[in-house]
């Protein structure tokens, strides 16, 4: 990953291949943002009008590269748009900086060293720029052989090697911590993206569990993997019922990070369907090509637990990865089958494509046994949530209004678009089954909420619980934007990590 460093050097004087400056959209054309004064001076204070002549406006996502004048050590200046100028007495929003750094880093593939001379007010801004640069520089090239040999792959433009963030105070503890946090967070988020992007023939439940085991070992996290035999012995009918049609058997992974100073405990539960074909209720063509992304919830949970461990957060965090492949076969669960879940409840499977709630139900029931202070599950659960909120916003449901509000505030704060959704009681009736305790499907309308209500049935009494339906933002089918690449995005990782930090600090109930 892009190495992140801090420097006090002046923007014009630092030896780098490129210097990144910010430019905002002013009333009378582009305005050079604070942090780039020295670079502007080298342009005789005309950088704004030079950019305007080149067609730039300072708009969000805009990138302009120009050769440096004498007096700027880096041979190239990259001006990145910051959007509207902030109101008087206000500063650029942290996510504006994160996105701008991401846009710039994305335009710097193949570059060795770039200096980021963006407007910095505090350590939080430095963290945002560092995060944005490392996340924007991400590229998934593991399978790009170009039909030739390993050399062609090596020649493929690698991501930006080093991002030097200017304007901070490298010896200041707060700034150093900001860079360390950004490095750990972006590395784990990028690893989550790699897992999501890895084709399902190379990432089945067993392979995912092996990756989790190796990382846990590296970071002092306790790990326990239940294989299909242990799952059968334990009565995990939901996870087994989803995985039974596949030649690649399911797994339940428990990651346990503990801090000797912890006063609170959190459990994160991730949906880890390494491929969702729909099962016997097979998805039609057009709906299955990107279903390798159906383990994005488990990838986010995995990344969050490892990040918590790397940062030594003073809170206990348990991660549950409910891993299975949903395939049709002679041994697959049929619509009409009844599963006996880990909790003891029976579920009539009316649609084998509503598999996420089945694996999550078992993991939620199991996680509840430890009586954590709160449980958050993360899942690419329903197409309905995508219809409701679009492709960039995840839905938050909860059994506790205050907890849902906290999770929403945290998501907004870290730059992850999210929105609260209700769990209307009356929708439960639709899941009545003539045969079993509950069916895995209900009314079509409000399908995302129906799924949430199903999950709620498996959460232990008295435990605060939130459900993040990330079906929209987990996988970017469109072009890259900001610090978000095509493919796996790593959404929800930052919300989970900040929730753990907040809980450690005692800011939450
Ligand atoms: N993994 C899908 C949901 C999904 C859809 C995620 C599109 C990302 C993009 C989930 O397992 C599913 O198939 N849900 C069904 C539920 C229905 C059968 C009740 C859906 O949303 O159609
Ligand atoms: Mn499905
Ligand atoms: Zn699914």
DSSP summary character for residue 85: P
| C-beta of residue 328 within 8 angstroms of C-beta of residue 246 | no
Protein residue whose Cα sits closest to atom 5 of ligand 1:
383
List ligand 1's pocket residues with C-beta within 6 A: 276, 294, 351, 353-356, 380-384, 386, 441, 447, 471
**Known catalytic membership, residue 263:** no
Q: To the nearest 10°, the Cα dihedral for 471, 443, 449, 451?
A: -60
Residue 283 among the catalytic residues: yes
**What is the CATH code of the structural domain delimited by 186-504?**
3.40.630.10
Cα 197 to middle of ligand 2, angstroms: 18
Question: Which ligand number lies closest to the CA of residue 381?
Answer: 1
| Model pLDDT for residues 461-494, shown as the tens digit of each residue | 999 999 999 999 999 999 999 999 999 999 999 9
Span from the CA of 296 to the centroid of ligand 2 (angstroms) = 13
Please tell me which residue in 73, 153, 169, 283 is annotated as part of the active site. Answer: 283
Residue ranges covered by each domain of the chain? 3-168, 186-504
Give the pairing of strands 162-166 and 251-257.
unpaired
Q: Tens of pLDDT along the chain (509 residues)?
A: 999 999 988 899 999 999 999 999 999 999 999 999 999 999 999 999 999 999 999 999 999 999 999 999 999 999 999 999 999 899 999 999 999 999 999 999 899 999 999 999 999 999 999 999 999 999 998 998 765 556 555 556 789 999 999 987 777 899 999 999 999 999 999 999 999 999 999 999 999 999 999 999 999 999 999 999 999 999 999 999 999 999 999 999 999 999 999 999 999 999 999 999 999 999 999 999 999 999 999 999 999 999 999 999 999 999 999 999 999 999 999 999 999 999 999 999 999 999 999 999 999 999 999 999 999 999 999 999 999 999 999 999 999 999 999 999 999 999 999 999 999 999 999 999 999 999 999 999 999 999 999 999 999 999 999 999 999 999 999 999 999 999 999 999 999 999 999 999 999 86
pTM of the predicted model as reported, rounded to 2 decimal places:
0.97
Nearest CA to ligand 1 atom 16: 354
Distance CA 401, CA 408 (A): 11
Indicate the pairing of strand 394-398 with strand 338-340: unpaired
The C-alpha atoms of residue 238 and residue 484 are separated, in whole angstroms, by 33
Atom 13 in ligand 1: residue holding the nearest Cα: 353
Rounded to a whole number of angstroms, the CA Rg of the chain reads 24
* HEC sequence for 213-230: HHHHHHCCCEEEEECHHH
The number of the ligand 1 atom at minimal distance from the alpha carbon of 351 is: 18
380 CA → ligand 2 middle, Å: 9
Specify the long-range contacts of residues 38-47, CB closer than 8 Å, at least 24 apart: 38/10, 38/11, 38/12, 38/13, 38/72, 39/11, 39/12, 39/68, 39/72, 39/77, 39/117, 41/12, 41/71, 42/12, 42/68, 42/69, 42/70, 42/71, 42/72, 43/69, 47/21, 47/23, 47/77, 47/79
Residue nearest to atom 22 of ligand 1 (CA): 383
Output the CA 277–ligand 3 centroid distance in Å: 8
Which residue, among 330, 190, 133, 167, has the nearest Cα to 246 in the 3D structure? 330
The one catalytic residue among 254, 292, 310, 357? 357
Intra-chain end-to-end CA distance of the chain, in Å: 36
pLDDT digits (tens, 9 = 90+) for 181-194: 999 999 999 999 99
Please state, in angstroms and rounded to a whole number, the distance separating the CA atoms of residues 93 and 218: 36
Atom 3 in ligand 1: residue holding the nearest Cα: 382
Helices (H), 158-283: 173-197, 205-218, 228-234, 237-243
Of ligand 1's listed atoms, the one at least distance from the Cα of 281 is 18
Q: Phi/psi of residue 158, each to 5°?
A: -80, 170
Tell me if domain 3-168 and domain 186-504 are identical in fold. no
Q: Sort strands 162-166 and 3-7 into parallel, antiparallel or unpaired.
A: parallel
122 by DSSP, 3-state: which? coil
* DSSP 8-state class, residue 57: -
- Which atom in ligand 1 lies closest to the alpha carbon of residue 326? 11
Show the CA angle centred on residue 156, arms to residues 185 and 140, nearest 5°. Answer: 35
Measured from the alpha carbon of residue 447, the closest ligand is 1
Q: How far is the CA of 354 from the centre of ligand 2 (A)?
A: 5
Backbone angles phi, psi at 297, to 5 degrees: -65, -45
Give the domain 3-168 fold.
3.40.220
DSSP 432-463: --SSSSEES---STTHHHHHHHHHHTTSPTT-
């Amino acid at each position: 990953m892009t190495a992140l460093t801090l420097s006090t050097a002046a923007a014009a004087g630092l030896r780098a291949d490129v210097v990144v400056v910010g430019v905002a959209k002013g009333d009378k054309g582009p305005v050079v943002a604070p942090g780039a004064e020295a670079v502007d001076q080298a342009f005789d204070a005309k950088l704004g009008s030079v950019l305007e002549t080149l067609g730039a406006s300072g708009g969000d996502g805009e990138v302009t590269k120009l050769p440096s004048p004498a007096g700027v050590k880096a041979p190239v200046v990259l001006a990145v748009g910051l959007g509207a100028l902030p109101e008087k007495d206000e500063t650029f929003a942290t996510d504006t900086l994160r996105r701008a750094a991401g846009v710039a880093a994305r335009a710097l593939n193949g570059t060795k060293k770039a200096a980021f001379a963006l407007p910095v007010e505090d350590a939080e801004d430095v963290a945002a720029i560092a995060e944005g640069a490392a996340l924007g520089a991400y590229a998934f090239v593991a399978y790009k052989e170009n039909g030739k040999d390993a050399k062609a792959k090596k020649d493929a433009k690698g991501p930006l090697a080093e991002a030097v963030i200017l304007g901070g105070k490298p010896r200041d503890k707060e700034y150093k911590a900001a860079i360390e946090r950004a490095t750990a967070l972006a590395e784990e988020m990028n690893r989550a993206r790699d897992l999501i992007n890895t084709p399902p023939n190379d990432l089945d439940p067993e392979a995912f569990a092996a990756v989790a085991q190796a990382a846990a070992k590296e970071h002092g996290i306790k790990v326990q993997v239940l294989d299909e035999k242990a799952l059968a012995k334990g009565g995990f009918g939901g996870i087994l019922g989803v995985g039974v049609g596949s030649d690649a058997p399911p797994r339940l992974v428990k990651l346990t990070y503990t801090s000797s100073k912890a006063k609170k405990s959190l459990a994160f539960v991730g949906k880890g369907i390494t491929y969702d074909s729909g099962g016997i209720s097979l998805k039609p063509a057009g709906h299955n090509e990107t279903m390798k992304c159906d383990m994005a919830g488990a990838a986010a949970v995995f990344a969050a637990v490892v990040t918590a461990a790397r940062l030594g957060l003073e809170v206990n965090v348990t991660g549950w990865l409910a891993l299975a492949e949903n395939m049709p076969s002679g041994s697959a669960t049929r619509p009409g089958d009844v599963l006996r879940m880990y909790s003891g409840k029976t579920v009539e499977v009316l649609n084998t494509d509503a598999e996420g709630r089945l694996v999550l139900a078992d993991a939620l029931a199991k996680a509840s046994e430890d009586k954590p202070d709160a449980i958050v599950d993360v899942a690419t659960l329903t197409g309905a949530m995508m219809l409701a909120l679009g492709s960039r916003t995840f839905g938050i449901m909860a059994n506790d209004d205050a907890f849902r509000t906290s999770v929403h505030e945290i998501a907004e704060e870290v730059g992850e678009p999210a929105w609260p959704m209700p769990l209307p009681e009356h929708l439960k009736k639709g899941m009545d089954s003539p045969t079993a305790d509950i069916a895995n499907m209900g009314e079509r309308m409000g399908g995302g909420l129906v799924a949430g209500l199903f999950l709620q049935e498996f959460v232990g009494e008295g435990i605060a619980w939130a459900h993040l339906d990330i079906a929209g933002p987990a996988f970017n089918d469109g072009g890259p934007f900001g610090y978000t690449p095509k493919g796996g995005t790593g959404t929800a990782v930052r919300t989970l990590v900040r929730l753990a930090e907040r809980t450690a600090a005692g800011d939450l109930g």
